[in-house]
Amino acid sequence: MKDSKSTMIPLEPDTQVELDKVLNAGGSGKVMLEGSDEVFMIKKAESGNDYELSKVASESSSNNMRSALEKIKAKMQ
């Protein structure tokens, strides 16, 4: 992976401490890079101390958002 000076913002898990635990255990997480609105999957590289990022496909269509909001409203009632 190329060196990057961007700050990673943890999404899943949502804290840096929890993200580090997951990555060190061989798992993956979701992050955003500071200044970007794209979401990336992050995992430890197979060799060395590097990390691999892969872009996550966006699912932000109006119908998906509307459906998600309706489910949230239903759970709140």
- Per the prediction, the chain carries an average pLDDT of 83
CA 77 – CA 5 distance, rounded (Å): 45
Model pLDDT for residues 42-55, shown as the tens digit of each residue: 999 887 788 899 99
**Residue 25 · residue 17 · CB < 8 Å:** no
Query: For 25-56, b where at least 16 C-beta lie within 10 A, e where not — what string?
Result: eeebbbbbeeeeeebbebebeeeeeebeeeee
User: Rounded to two decimals, what is the model's pTM?
Assistant: 0.63
Q: Where are the domains of the chain?
A: 8-76
Sign of CA dihedral 59, 12, 9, 2: negative
